[in-house]
Structure 1
Amino acid sequence: MFKDVLDKLLKGEYSARTIRKAHSQEKKIRGVKNVPHYDLEETARRKLEEILDGGVQYKYARETLIALQYCSNHHHYLTDALLIDDIVSHKRITFNNYLKTSTKEQK
């Protein structure tokens, strides 16, 4: 589940600005949150330390992975653009305008 997001993070597809913006969305996520495995969290923490030029705690790494996963699975109800794509494009984000992408669309 988090493997694809972590792979993109490790490949350097996300800038520091994108990571910070995605992380800021995490506190808005309601309902049951899937939590990444500790090994994935540790790998993400090390990579985030490189990108953000500083010490990153496990909590920040976990929240960032949760937010990136969420952003990769939700699209805007009008434009159909993924939340992560809008964040990367530096668009204004209105969190409630993004809907869950169906499993049919993910395939």
Structure 2
Amino acid sequence: MDSEFEDILDKLLKGEYSARTIRKVHSQEKKIRGVKNVPHYDLEETARKKLEEIFNAGVHSKYAREVLTVLEYSNNHNHYKTDALLIDDIVNHKRIVFNNYLIEYR
């Protein structure tokens, strides 16, 4: 599971996500129900440092952990009609109706 978080962290470090996208991703965190995958502390700390660069402000470890958790979730859940990944819709600034990504379509 850590390899998936490493891929997500790699994208974050390359600057693929804007501050606006990260805020939108983080706003989805409380909507995830059930078991959440949690990143290793080392990955969380690396993400925290990168988020501090992006926001030009201090970032708590909890915020970095939540961002990584939602990024992992959004890379694995598709919209039930359009089949677009949640992260792609967030990056493209589409309106997010979170329940549309909960349905197991396949």
Letter in 2 for 1:20: R
With normalisation by structure 2, the TM-score equals 0.92
Distance 1:80 1:8, change over 3 A: same
Scaled by the length of structure 1, what TM-score is found? 0.91
How far apart are the structure 1 equivalents of 2:90 and 2:55? 17
- The one-letter amino acid of 2:39's match is P
The reply to whether residue 79 of structure 1 matches residue 79 of structure 2 is no
5+ residue gaps, structure 2, are none
Aligned-residue RMSD, C-alpha:
1.7
Counting strand residues as a fraction of each chain, which structure ranks higher?
A: 1
Q: 1:51 aligned to 2:58?
A: no
Match of 1:10 in 2: 13
Identity level (%): 77
Q: Quote the offset at 1:101 in angstroms.
A: 7.8
The number of residue pairs the alignment matches comes to 103
For 2:18 and 2:91, the matched residues in 1 are separated by: 8
- Structure 1 residue runs of 5 or longer lacking an equivalent are none
